[in-house]
Chains A and B, each alone.
Chain A
Protein backbone atom coordinates (compact mmCIF):
# COMPACT_ATOMS: atom_id res chain seq x y z
CA UNK A 1 0.00 0.00 0.00
CA UNK A 2 2.49 2.65 -1.17
CA UNK A 3 1.06 6.08 -1.79
CA UNK A 4 2.66 8.50 -4.22
CA UNK A 5 4.71 10.78 -2.03
CA UNK A 6 5.68 13.58 -4.35
CA UNK A 7 4.00 16.83 -3.27
CA UNK A 8 2.01 19.02 -5.67
CA UNK A 9 3.75 22.15 -6.95
CA UNK A 10 3.48 24.87 -4.32
CA UNK A 11 3.14 27.63 -6.91
CA UNK A 12 -0.28 26.35 -8.00
CA UNK A 13 -1.67 25.97 -4.53
CA UNK A 14 -0.26 29.28 -3.35
CA UNK A 15 -2.66 31.23 -5.58
CA UNK A 16 -5.70 29.03 -4.92
CA UNK A 17 -8.28 30.17 -2.38
CA UNK A 18 -7.46 28.65 1.03
CA UNK A 19 -9.49 25.60 1.95
CA UNK A 20 -9.13 26.63 5.58
CA UNK A 21 -8.51 30.09 7.02
CA UNK A 22 -8.29 30.53 10.78
CA UNK A 23 -8.02 34.01 12.30
CA UNK A 24 -7.49 34.83 15.96
CA UNK A 25 -8.94 31.50 17.17
CA UNK A 26 -9.19 31.18 20.94
CA UNK A 27 -10.57 28.51 23.21
CA UNK A 28 -10.68 28.91 26.96
CA UNK A 29 -11.39 26.22 29.52
CA UNK A 30 -11.92 27.14 33.19
CA UNK A 31 -8.58 28.42 34.46
CA UNK A 32 -6.74 27.63 31.21
CA UNK A 33 -6.39 29.21 27.77
CA UNK A 34 -5.81 26.28 25.41
CA UNK A 35 -5.82 28.19 22.12
CA UNK A 36 -4.51 31.75 22.24
CA UNK A 37 -5.30 33.55 19.01
CA UNK A 38 -4.29 31.09 16.29
CA UNK A 39 -4.11 32.34 12.72
CA UNK A 40 -3.13 30.29 9.66
CA UNK A 41 -4.39 29.29 6.22
CA UNK A 42 -4.21 25.97 4.37
CA UNK A 43 -4.07 25.62 0.59
CA UNK A 44 -6.26 22.96 -1.04
CA UNK A 45 -4.86 19.58 -2.04
CA UNK A 46 -2.10 19.53 0.54
CA UNK A 47 -1.21 17.39 3.52
CA UNK A 48 -0.42 19.46 6.59
CA UNK A 49 0.99 17.90 9.74
CA UNK A 50 0.11 19.46 13.09
CA UNK A 51 2.68 18.73 15.77
CA UNK A 52 3.11 19.76 19.38
CA UNK A 53 3.67 18.43 22.87
CA UNK A 54 0.84 16.85 24.87
CA UNK A 55 -1.57 19.55 26.04
CA UNK A 56 -0.46 22.06 23.42
CA UNK A 57 -4.03 22.26 22.03
CA UNK A 58 -3.79 20.14 18.85
CA UNK A 59 -6.89 18.02 19.44
CA UNK A 60 -8.82 21.03 20.73
CA UNK A 61 -7.94 22.89 17.52
CA UNK A 62 -9.19 20.00 15.36
CA UNK A 63 -12.44 19.81 17.32
CA UNK A 64 -12.91 23.58 17.14
CA UNK A 65 -12.60 23.47 13.34
CA UNK A 66 -15.85 21.45 13.12
CA UNK A 67 -17.32 22.90 16.33
CA UNK A 68 -17.30 19.65 18.25
CA UNK A 69 -15.71 22.03 20.75
CA UNK A 70 -17.12 25.57 20.46
CA UNK A 71 -14.42 28.23 19.95
CA UNK A 72 -14.33 31.04 22.53
CA UNK A 73 -13.40 33.59 19.88
CA UNK A 74 -11.95 34.16 16.43
CA UNK A 75 -13.01 33.13 12.95
CA UNK A 76 -12.89 29.90 10.98
CA UNK A 77 -13.54 29.81 7.25
CA UNK A 78 -13.50 26.29 5.88
CA UNK A 79 -14.67 24.95 2.51
CA UNK A 80 -16.09 28.38 1.75
CA UNK A 81 -18.23 28.54 4.91
CA UNK A 82 -18.07 30.79 7.96
CA UNK A 83 -18.02 27.87 10.42
CA UNK A 84 -18.71 29.90 13.57
CA UNK A 85 -21.95 31.32 12.15
CA UNK A 86 -23.49 28.12 10.82
CA UNK A 87 -26.99 27.20 11.98
CA UNK A 88 -27.44 23.73 13.52
CA UNK A 89 -28.74 22.42 10.19
CA UNK A 90 -25.96 24.15 8.24
CA UNK A 91 -23.42 22.74 10.70
CA UNK A 92 -24.66 19.20 10.04
CA UNK A 93 -24.32 19.72 6.29
CA UNK A 94 -20.86 21.22 6.72
CA UNK A 95 -19.69 18.36 8.96
CA UNK A 96 -20.77 15.88 6.28
CA UNK A 97 -18.07 17.37 4.01
CA UNK A 98 -15.32 17.03 6.59
CA UNK A 99 -14.02 13.52 7.17
CA UNK A 100 -12.53 12.88 10.60
CA UNK A 101 -10.23 9.97 11.43
CA UNK A 102 -9.96 9.58 15.19
CA UNK A 103 -7.15 8.17 17.27
CA UNK A 104 -9.63 5.51 18.39
CA UNK A 105 -11.56 4.27 15.39
CA UNK A 106 -14.95 4.93 17.10
CA UNK A 107 -16.78 2.29 15.08
CA UNK A 108 -19.98 0.65 16.35
CA UNK A 109 -18.48 -2.59 17.65
CA UNK A 110 -21.37 -5.02 17.22
CA UNK A 111 -22.05 -4.09 13.60
CA UNK A 112 -20.33 -5.32 10.45
CA UNK A 113 -17.62 -3.39 8.64
CA UNK A 114 -20.10 -2.75 5.80
CA UNK A 115 -22.76 -1.29 8.14
CA UNK A 116 -20.16 0.97 9.75
CA UNK A 117 -19.03 2.24 6.35
CA UNK A 118 -22.65 2.87 5.29
CA UNK A 119 -23.03 5.12 8.39
CA UNK A 120 -20.76 7.55 6.53
CA UNK A 121 -23.69 8.38 4.22
CA UNK A 122 -26.02 9.42 7.06
CA UNK A 123 -25.84 13.15 6.39
CA UNK A 124 -26.62 12.60 2.67
CA UNK A 125 -29.29 9.91 3.16
CA UNK A 126 -31.08 10.39 6.48
CA UNK A 127 -33.37 7.72 7.93
CA UNK A 128 -33.14 4.00 8.69
CA UNK A 129 -31.76 3.15 5.21
CA UNK A 130 -28.27 4.06 6.40
CA UNK A 131 -28.52 2.51 9.89
CA UNK A 132 -27.41 -0.96 8.83
CA UNK A 133 -26.28 -2.71 5.66
CA UNK A 134 -29.39 -4.92 5.55
CA UNK A 135 -31.61 -1.82 5.19
CA UNK A 136 -29.41 0.09 2.71
CA UNK A 137 -30.34 0.60 -0.97
CA UNK A 138 -28.22 -1.29 -3.52
CA UNK A 139 -26.43 1.88 -4.72
CA UNK A 140 -25.35 2.75 -1.17
CA UNK A 141 -24.18 -0.81 -0.52
CA UNK A 142 -22.16 -0.77 -3.74
CA UNK A 143 -20.53 2.54 -2.89
CA UNK A 144 -19.69 1.27 0.60
CA UNK A 145 -18.17 -1.90 -0.88
CA UNK A 146 -16.06 0.29 -3.19
CA UNK A 147 -14.84 2.27 -0.15
CA UNK A 148 -13.95 -0.97 1.64
CA UNK A 149 -12.14 -2.20 -1.48
CA UNK A 150 -10.21 1.08 -1.49
CA UNK A 151 -8.79 0.27 1.96
CA UNK A 152 -8.27 -3.39 1.05
CA UNK A 153 -11.05 -4.85 3.21
CA UNK A 154 -13.78 -5.83 0.73
CA UNK A 155 -13.40 -9.47 1.76
CA UNK A 156 -14.10 -8.54 5.42
CA UNK A 157 -17.31 -6.60 4.68
CA UNK A 158 -19.69 -8.75 6.73
CA UNK A 159 -17.38 -9.40 9.67
CA UNK A 160 -18.18 -7.65 12.93
CA UNK A 161 -15.66 -4.85 13.43
CA UNK A 162 -14.82 -6.06 16.94
CA UNK A 163 -13.44 -9.22 15.29
CA UNK A 164 -10.99 -7.20 13.17
CA UNK A 165 -7.45 -6.18 14.12
CA UNK A 166 -6.65 -2.62 15.24
CA UNK A 167 -5.21 -1.72 11.87
CA UNK A 168 -8.20 -3.16 10.01
CA UNK A 169 -10.58 -1.24 12.30
CA UNK A 170 -8.74 1.99 11.54
CA UNK A 171 -9.01 1.22 7.80
CA UNK A 172 -12.76 0.63 8.19
CA UNK A 173 -12.95 4.05 9.88
CA UNK A 174 -11.14 5.53 6.86
CA UNK A 175 -13.60 3.76 4.52
CA UNK A 176 -16.48 5.28 6.55
CA UNK A 177 -14.84 8.66 6.15
CA UNK A 178 -14.55 8.08 2.35
CA UNK A 179 -18.26 7.21 2.27
CA UNK A 180 -18.91 10.81 3.39
CA UNK A 181 -17.32 11.99 0.09
CA UNK A 182 -15.36 14.56 2.10
CA UNK A 183 -13.52 17.55 0.69
CA UNK A 184 -11.30 17.93 3.77
CA UNK A 185 -9.85 15.32 6.12
CA UNK A 186 -8.97 15.91 9.77
CA UNK A 187 -6.97 13.08 11.34
CA UNK A 188 -6.24 13.03 15.08
CA UNK A 189 -3.27 10.71 15.61
CA UNK A 190 -4.60 7.98 13.30
CA UNK A 191 -1.34 6.04 13.78
CA UNK A 192 -1.18 6.33 17.58
CA UNK A 193 -2.53 2.93 18.62
CA UNK A 194 -1.11 0.97 15.69
CA UNK A 195 2.11 -0.98 15.24
CA UNK A 196 4.78 0.76 13.13
CA UNK A 197 3.97 -1.03 9.87
CA UNK A 198 0.19 -0.66 10.17
CA UNK A 199 0.58 2.96 11.23
CA UNK A 200 2.65 3.59 8.11
CA UNK A 201 0.02 1.90 5.94
CA UNK A 202 -2.73 4.10 7.39
CA UNK A 203 -0.70 7.30 6.91
CA UNK A 204 0.18 6.21 3.37
CA UNK A 205 -3.51 5.61 2.67
CA UNK A 206 -4.41 9.12 3.87
CA UNK A 207 -1.68 10.75 1.81
CA UNK A 208 -2.83 8.71 -1.18
CA UNK A 209 -6.24 10.38 -0.88
CA UNK A 210 -4.58 13.79 -0.97
CA UNK A 211 -2.47 12.96 -4.01
CA UNK A 212 -5.05 10.99 -6.00
CA UNK A 213 -8.33 12.71 -5.06
CA UNK A 214 -7.00 16.21 -4.42
CA UNK A 215 -8.42 16.21 -0.88
CA UNK A 216 -6.92 18.41 1.84
CA UNK A 217 -5.54 16.81 4.98
CA UNK A 218 -4.70 18.19 8.41
CA UNK A 219 -3.16 15.40 10.46
CA UNK A 220 -1.86 15.22 14.03
CA UNK A 221 0.95 12.73 14.53
CA UNK A 222 3.46 12.21 17.30
CA UNK A 223 5.70 10.10 15.06
CA UNK A 224 8.29 12.43 13.58
CA UNK A 225 9.15 10.04 10.76
CA UNK A 226 5.49 10.07 9.68
CA UNK A 227 5.36 13.86 9.92
CA UNK A 228 8.37 14.11 7.65
CA UNK A 229 7.26 11.43 5.18
CA UNK A 230 3.55 12.05 4.86
CA UNK A 231 3.08 15.83 4.80
CA UNK A 232 3.78 18.83 2.61
CA UNK A 233 3.79 21.38 5.41
CA UNK A 234 4.32 21.29 9.16
CA UNK A 235 2.53 23.47 11.70
CA UNK A 236 3.84 23.35 15.26
CA UNK A 237 1.69 24.32 18.26
CA UNK A 238 3.18 25.42 21.56
CA UNK A 239 1.17 26.92 24.43
CA UNK A 240 -1.84 27.43 22.21
CA UNK A 241 0.05 29.38 19.56
CA UNK A 242 1.57 28.54 16.16
CA UNK A 243 5.28 28.28 16.95
CA UNK A 244 6.45 26.54 13.77
CA UNK A 245 5.28 26.81 10.16
CA UNK A 246 7.49 25.44 7.43
CA UNK A 247 7.36 23.29 4.28
CA UNK A 248 8.21 19.68 5.10
CA UNK A 249 10.98 19.62 2.51
CA UNK A 250 12.87 22.17 4.62
CA UNK A 251 12.37 20.22 7.87
CA UNK A 252 14.39 17.42 9.43
CA UNK A 253 14.08 15.18 12.48
CA UNK A 254 16.72 17.08 14.48
CA UNK A 255 14.95 20.39 13.91
CA UNK A 256 11.58 18.94 14.96
CA UNK A 257 13.10 17.42 18.10
CA UNK A 258 14.55 20.82 18.93
CA UNK A 259 11.06 22.32 18.51
CA UNK A 260 9.62 19.79 20.98
CA UNK A 261 12.47 20.45 23.45
CA UNK A 262 11.82 24.20 23.30
CA UNK A 263 8.05 23.70 23.59
CA UNK A 264 8.39 21.50 26.67
CA UNK A 265 10.91 23.89 28.27
CA UNK A 266 8.49 26.79 27.73
Chain B
Protein backbone atom coordinates (compact mmCIF):
# COMPACT_ATOMS: atom_id res chain seq x y z
CA UNK B 1 0.00 0.00 0.00
CA UNK B 2 1.44 3.37 -1.04
CA UNK B 3 0.77 6.11 1.44
CA UNK B 4 -0.12 9.55 0.11
CA UNK B 5 2.93 11.85 0.17
CA UNK B 6 2.60 15.06 2.23
CA UNK B 7 2.11 18.45 0.57
CA UNK B 8 5.39 19.96 -0.62
CA UNK B 9 4.47 23.49 0.51
CA UNK B 10 2.43 24.65 3.44
CA UNK B 11 -0.97 26.08 2.55
CA UNK B 12 -0.87 29.85 2.97
CA UNK B 13 -3.74 32.19 3.72
CA UNK B 14 -4.82 35.14 1.60
CA UNK B 15 -3.37 37.53 4.20
CA UNK B 16 0.05 35.86 3.91
CA UNK B 17 -0.02 36.21 0.10
CA UNK B 18 -1.02 39.86 0.45
CA UNK B 19 1.87 40.50 2.87
CA UNK B 20 4.32 38.79 0.48
CA UNK B 21 3.04 40.94 -2.40
CA UNK B 22 3.42 44.10 -0.30
CA UNK B 23 7.07 43.24 0.53
CA UNK B 24 7.84 42.51 -3.15
CA UNK B 25 6.21 45.82 -4.20
CA UNK B 26 8.30 47.70 -1.64
CA UNK B 27 11.55 46.10 -2.91
CA UNK B 28 10.76 46.77 -6.59
CA UNK B 29 9.64 50.39 -6.08
CA UNK B 30 12.68 51.08 -3.86
CA UNK B 31 15.07 49.74 -6.50
CA UNK B 32 13.31 51.70 -9.26
CA UNK B 33 13.37 54.96 -7.29
CA UNK B 34 16.90 54.91 -5.90
CA UNK B 35 19.21 52.40 -7.63
CA UNK B 36 21.61 53.87 -10.24
CA UNK B 37 20.79 53.46 -13.92
CA UNK B 38 23.12 50.83 -15.47
CA UNK B 39 24.34 53.17 -18.26
CA UNK B 40 25.17 55.93 -15.77
CA UNK B 41 27.00 53.42 -13.55
CA UNK B 42 28.98 52.08 -16.53
CA UNK B 43 30.12 55.53 -17.71
CA UNK B 44 31.03 56.50 -14.12
CA UNK B 45 33.23 53.43 -13.67
CA UNK B 46 34.91 54.12 -17.02
CA UNK B 47 35.71 57.67 -15.84
CA UNK B 48 37.53 56.21 -12.80
CA UNK B 49 40.05 54.54 -15.11
CA UNK B 50 40.45 57.47 -17.56
CA UNK B 51 43.97 59.12 -17.71
CA UNK B 52 42.79 61.92 -15.38
CA UNK B 53 40.41 59.66 -13.41
CA UNK B 54 40.42 59.10 -9.67
CA UNK B 55 41.90 55.58 -9.64
CA UNK B 56 44.55 56.44 -12.22
CA UNK B 57 45.73 59.43 -10.17
CA UNK B 58 45.72 57.37 -6.94
CA UNK B 59 48.52 55.09 -8.12
CA UNK B 60 51.17 54.79 -6.99
CA UNK B 61 50.22 55.78 -3.41
CA UNK B 62 52.31 58.58 -1.93
CA UNK B 63 53.90 57.45 1.35
CA UNK B 64 56.20 60.50 1.75
CA UNK B 65 54.00 61.75 4.65
CA UNK B 66 54.08 58.38 6.45
CA UNK B 67 55.35 59.81 9.77
CA UNK B 68 52.62 62.49 10.28
CA UNK B 69 50.01 60.03 8.97
CA UNK B 70 51.31 57.48 11.49
CA UNK B 71 50.85 59.92 14.37
CA UNK B 72 47.33 60.71 13.15
CA UNK B 73 46.59 56.99 12.99
CA UNK B 74 47.79 56.65 16.58
CA UNK B 75 45.42 59.48 17.57
CA UNK B 76 42.61 57.65 15.73
CA UNK B 77 43.37 54.46 17.65
CA UNK B 78 43.49 56.38 20.94
CA UNK B 79 40.11 58.00 20.17
CA UNK B 80 38.63 54.57 19.46
CA UNK B 81 40.04 53.00 22.65
CA UNK B 82 39.09 55.91 24.93
CA UNK B 83 35.58 56.33 23.48
CA UNK B 84 34.96 52.59 23.48
CA UNK B 85 36.19 52.19 27.09
CA UNK B 86 33.98 55.01 28.39
CA UNK B 87 31.01 53.76 26.35
CA UNK B 88 31.33 50.18 27.63
CA UNK B 89 31.62 51.32 31.25
CA UNK B 90 28.49 53.46 30.93
CA UNK B 91 26.62 50.84 28.88
CA UNK B 92 26.58 48.39 31.81
CA UNK B 93 24.34 50.41 34.18
CA UNK B 94 22.07 51.37 31.27
CA UNK B 95 21.78 47.68 30.33
CA UNK B 96 21.02 46.64 33.92
CA UNK B 97 18.26 49.26 34.16
CA UNK B 98 16.86 48.08 30.80
CA UNK B 99 16.66 44.39 31.82
CA UNK B 100 13.28 42.94 32.85
CA UNK B 101 14.52 40.96 35.84
CA UNK B 102 17.01 43.51 37.18
CA UNK B 103 15.36 46.88 36.62
CA UNK B 104 13.93 48.40 39.82
CA UNK B 105 10.74 49.67 38.12
CA UNK B 106 9.01 49.25 34.74
CA UNK B 107 9.16 53.02 34.13
CA UNK B 108 12.92 53.05 34.74
CA UNK B 109 13.25 50.08 32.36
CA UNK B 110 11.29 51.85 29.61
CA UNK B 111 13.31 55.06 30.07
CA UNK B 112 16.62 53.15 29.90
CA UNK B 113 15.50 51.28 26.78
CA UNK B 114 14.39 54.52 25.11
CA UNK B 115 17.75 56.18 25.83
CA UNK B 116 19.70 53.17 24.53
CA UNK B 117 17.56 53.20 21.36
CA UNK B 118 18.19 56.95 20.93
CA UNK B 119 21.99 56.53 21.33
CA UNK B 120 21.95 53.66 18.84
CA UNK B 121 19.66 55.23 16.26
CA UNK B 122 21.41 58.58 15.79
CA UNK B 123 24.55 58.04 13.62
CA UNK B 124 27.94 58.70 15.22
CA UNK B 125 28.67 61.46 12.67
CA UNK B 126 25.63 63.36 13.97
CA UNK B 127 26.80 62.84 17.57
CA UNK B 128 30.23 64.14 16.49
CA UNK B 129 28.65 67.37 15.15
CA UNK B 130 26.70 67.77 18.40
CA UNK B 131 29.87 67.34 20.51
CA UNK B 132 31.90 69.65 18.26
CA UNK B 133 29.36 72.32 19.21
CA UNK B 134 29.79 71.42 22.90
CA UNK B 135 33.58 70.84 23.23
CA UNK B 136 34.91 72.28 19.96
CA UNK B 137 36.83 70.75 17.04
CA UNK B 138 39.28 67.94 17.77
CA UNK B 139 39.57 64.40 19.15
CA UNK B 140 37.58 65.13 22.37
CA UNK B 141 34.40 65.51 20.31
CA UNK B 142 35.24 62.25 18.54
CA UNK B 143 35.75 60.42 21.83
CA UNK B 144 32.39 61.66 23.14
CA UNK B 145 30.65 60.65 19.89
CA UNK B 146 32.16 57.14 20.02
CA UNK B 147 31.23 56.87 23.71
CA UNK B 148 27.55 57.69 23.10
CA UNK B 149 27.41 55.39 20.08
CA UNK B 150 28.90 52.55 22.16
CA UNK B 151 26.40 53.05 25.00
CA UNK B 152 23.69 52.40 22.41
CA UNK B 153 25.48 49.48 20.77
CA UNK B 154 26.80 47.67 23.86
CA UNK B 155 23.83 48.65 26.06
CA UNK B 156 21.48 46.71 23.82
CA UNK B 157 23.67 43.60 23.58
CA UNK B 158 24.57 43.65 27.29
CA UNK B 159 20.86 43.84 28.16
CA UNK B 160 20.03 40.96 25.80
CA UNK B 161 22.82 38.84 27.31
CA UNK B 162 21.51 39.50 30.82
CA UNK B 163 17.93 38.65 29.77
CA UNK B 164 19.12 35.30 28.40
CA UNK B 165 21.02 34.14 31.52
CA UNK B 166 19.74 31.16 33.48
CA UNK B 167 17.44 32.58 36.21
CA UNK B 168 18.20 29.61 38.53
CA UNK B 169 21.38 30.97 40.19
CA UNK B 170 19.75 34.40 40.56
CA UNK B 171 16.69 32.87 42.24
CA UNK B 172 18.96 30.83 44.51
CA UNK B 173 20.85 33.95 45.61
CA UNK B 174 17.57 35.83 46.11
CA UNK B 175 16.45 32.96 48.33
CA UNK B 176 19.70 33.27 50.31
CA UNK B 177 18.83 36.90 51.02
CA UNK B 178 21.30 38.51 48.59
CA UNK B 179 20.68 42.11 47.55
CA UNK B 180 19.91 43.11 43.95
CA UNK B 181 23.46 44.44 43.58
CA UNK B 182 24.84 41.20 45.05
CA UNK B 183 22.86 39.12 42.54
CA UNK B 184 24.13 41.26 39.66
CA UNK B 185 27.75 41.16 40.84
CA UNK B 186 27.96 37.51 41.77
CA UNK B 187 25.57 35.75 39.37
CA UNK B 188 24.59 37.91 36.39
CA UNK B 189 27.93 39.46 35.40
CA UNK B 190 30.00 36.24 35.74
CA UNK B 191 27.41 34.37 33.64
CA UNK B 192 27.48 37.10 30.97
CA UNK B 193 31.26 37.50 30.76
CA UNK B 194 31.73 35.58 27.48
CA UNK B 195 28.98 37.61 25.83
CA UNK B 196 30.25 40.89 27.35
CA UNK B 197 33.78 40.16 26.10
CA UNK B 198 32.59 39.39 22.56
CA UNK B 199 30.41 42.52 22.47
CA UNK B 200 33.25 44.69 23.83
CA UNK B 201 35.66 43.45 21.16
CA UNK B 202 33.11 44.05 18.40
CA UNK B 203 32.53 47.50 19.89
CA UNK B 204 36.28 48.21 19.66
CA UNK B 205 36.34 47.14 16.00
CA UNK B 206 33.30 49.32 15.30
CA UNK B 207 34.89 52.24 17.16
CA UNK B 208 38.06 51.87 15.10
CA UNK B 209 36.13 52.09 11.82
CA UNK B 210 33.97 54.91 13.17
CA UNK B 211 36.88 56.99 14.51
CA UNK B 212 38.52 56.97 11.06
CA UNK B 213 35.41 58.59 9.58
CA UNK B 214 34.76 61.12 12.38
CA UNK B 215 37.56 63.40 11.17
CA UNK B 216 35.49 64.12 8.06
CA UNK B 217 33.33 66.42 10.21
CA UNK B 218 36.28 67.76 12.24
CA UNK B 219 36.13 65.44 15.25
CA UNK B 220 39.83 64.50 15.19
CA UNK B 221 41.73 61.50 13.88
CA UNK B 222 42.97 60.53 10.44
CA UNK B 223 39.68 61.46 8.73
CA UNK B 224 40.70 65.14 8.74
CA UNK B 225 43.84 64.35 6.68
CA UNK B 226 41.86 62.15 4.32
CA UNK B 227 39.35 64.93 3.69
CA UNK B 228 42.13 67.48 3.08
CA UNK B 229 43.90 65.09 0.66
CA UNK B 230 40.69 64.67 -1.35
CA UNK B 231 39.89 68.41 -1.24
CA UNK B 232 43.38 69.24 -2.64
CA UNK B 233 43.11 66.46 -5.28
CA UNK B 234 46.13 64.64 -3.72
CA UNK B 235 44.58 61.28 -4.55
CA UNK B 236 47.90 59.39 -4.24
CA UNK B 237 48.27 60.65 -0.66
CA UNK B 238 44.60 59.80 -0.01
CA UNK B 239 45.27 56.22 -1.13
CA UNK B 240 48.26 55.99 1.21
CA UNK B 241 46.04 57.13 4.10
CA UNK B 242 43.29 54.65 3.12
CA UNK B 243 45.81 51.78 2.94
CA UNK B 244 47.29 52.64 6.35
CA UNK B 245 43.78 52.91 7.85
CA UNK B 246 42.94 49.55 6.31
CA UNK B 247 46.08 48.02 7.85
CA UNK B 248 45.18 49.37 11.29
CA UNK B 249 41.54 48.22 11.11
CA UNK B 250 42.61 44.73 9.98
CA UNK B 251 45.21 44.60 12.78
CA UNK B 252 42.57 45.55 15.38
CA UNK B 253 40.09 42.99 13.97
CA UNK B 254 42.71 40.24 13.93
CA UNK B 255 43.82 41.14 17.46
CA UNK B 256 40.26 41.15 18.82
CA UNK B 257 39.52 37.88 17.03
CA UNK B 258 42.58 36.30 18.66
CA UNK B 259 41.54 37.59 22.12
CA UNK B 260 37.98 36.32 21.55
CA UNK B 261 39.23 32.84 20.67
CA UNK B 262 41.51 32.80 23.73
CA UNK B 263 38.98 34.09 26.26
CA UNK B 264 35.69 32.57 25.15
Q: Which residues in B have their C-beta under 8 angstroms from that of A131?
A: 182, 185-186
Interface membership of A109, Cβ < 8 A: yes
Interface size class of A (residues with CB under 8 A): 20 to 34
The answer to whether A96 touches B191 (Cβ under 8 A) is no
Bitwise, A121-136 to B at CB < 8 A (1) or not (0) is 0110011101110000
The answer to whether B177 touches A92 (Cβ under 8 A) is yes
Interface membership of A236, Cβ < 8 A: no
Smallest CB gap from B185: residue in A = A131
Interface membership of A23, Cβ < 8 A: no
Report the Cα distance A94→B171, complex, angstroms: 16
Report the Cα distance A249→B176, complex, angstroms: 33
The answer to whether B177 touches A132 (Cβ under 8 A) is no
The answer to whether A110 touches B190 (Cβ under 8 A) is yes
Interface membership of B101, Cβ < 8 A: no
The answer to whether B177 touches A106 (Cβ under 8 A) is no
Which residue of the partner chain, among A108, A115, A122, contacts B179 with CB atoms under 8 Å?
A122
Q: Which residues in B have their C-beta under 8 angstroms from that of A104?
A: 168
Report the Cα distance A69→B31, complex, angstroms: 56
Interface residues of B in 195-219 (CB under 8 A from A): none
The answer to whether A102 touches B182 (Cβ under 8 A) is no
The answer to whether B175 touches A68 (Cβ under 8 A) is yes
Interface membership of B105, Cβ < 8 A: no
Q: Which residues in A have their C-beta under 8 angstroms from that of B181?
A: 126
Would you give the shortest CB distance from A190 to chain B, in whole angstroms?
Answer: 13
Q: Which residues in A have their C-beta under 8 angstroms from that of B186?
A: 108, 111, 115, 119, 122, 130-132
Which residue of the partner chain, among A96, A108, A176, contacts B190 with CB atoms under 8 Å?
A108
Interface residues of B in 132-185 (CB under 8 A from A): 166, 168-169, 171-179, 181-182, 185
Would you give the shortest CB distance from A80 to chain B, in whole angstroms?
Answer: 17
Interface membership of A240, Cβ < 8 A: no
The answer to whether A68 touches B174 (Cβ under 8 A) is yes
The answer to whether B193 touches A123 (Cβ under 8 A) is no
Smallest CB gap from A125: residue in B = B182
Given contacts A100-B172, A102-B172, A106-B169, contact A122 B190 (CB under 8 A): no
Q: Which residues in B have their C-beta under 8 angstroms from that of A115?
A: 186
The answer to whether B190 touches A106 (Cβ under 8 A) is no
Interface membership of A180, Cβ < 8 A: yes
The answer to whether A93 touches B191 (Cβ under 8 A) is no
Smallest CB gap from A96: residue in B = B177
Count B interface residues, CB 8 Å. 21
Q: Which residues in B have their C-beta under 8 angstroms from that of A173?
A: 172
Interface membership of B187, Cβ < 8 A: yes
Q: Which residues in A have their C-beta under 8 angstroms from that of B179?
A: 92, 122, 126
Would you give the shortest CB distance from B245 to chain A, in whole angstroms?
Answer: 37
Report the Cα distance A122→B179, complex, angstroms: 8
Report the Cα distance A210→B174, complex, angstroms: 24
Would you give the shortest CB distance from A112 to chain B, in whole angstroms?
Answer: 10
Interface residues of A in 79-104 (CB under 8 A from B): 92-96, 98, 100, 102, 104
Interface membership of A66, Cβ < 8 A: yes
Report the Cα distance A173→B166, complex, angstroms: 16
Would you give the shortest CB distance from B209 to chain A, in whole angstroms?
Answer: 31
Report the Cα distance A38→B191, complex, angstroms: 38
Report the Cα distance A102→B171, complex, angstroms: 10
Given contacts A131-B186, A180-B176, contact A108 B171 (CB under 8 A): no
The answer to whether A110 touches B193 (Cβ under 8 A) is yes
Q: Which residues in A have their C-beta under 8 angstroms from that of B182?
A: 122, 126-127, 130-131
Q: A94-B177, A109-B169, A119-B173 are in contact. List 15 more A-B contacts (CB 8 A).
A: A92-B177, A95-B177, A102-B168, A106-B171, A108-B169, A108-B187, A109-B166, A119-B187, A122-B173, A122-B178, A123-B177, A126-B182, A128-B185, A131-B186, A180-B176
Which B residues are closer than 8 A to A by beta carbons? 166, 168-169, 171-179, 181-182, 185-187, 190-191, 193-194
Ranked nearest first, the 8 interchain pairs of A and B with the lowest CB-CB distance are A123-B177, A96-B177, A106-B172, A122-B178, A106-B168, A95-B177, A131-B186, A92-B177
21 contacts between A and B (CB under 8 A): A68-B171, A92-B177, A95-B176, A95-B177, A96-B176, A98-B175, A100-B176, A102-B168, A106-B168, A109-B191, A110-B190, A110-B191, A111-B190, A122-B176, A122-B186, A127-B182, A128-B185, A130-B186, A132-B186, A173-B172, A176-B176
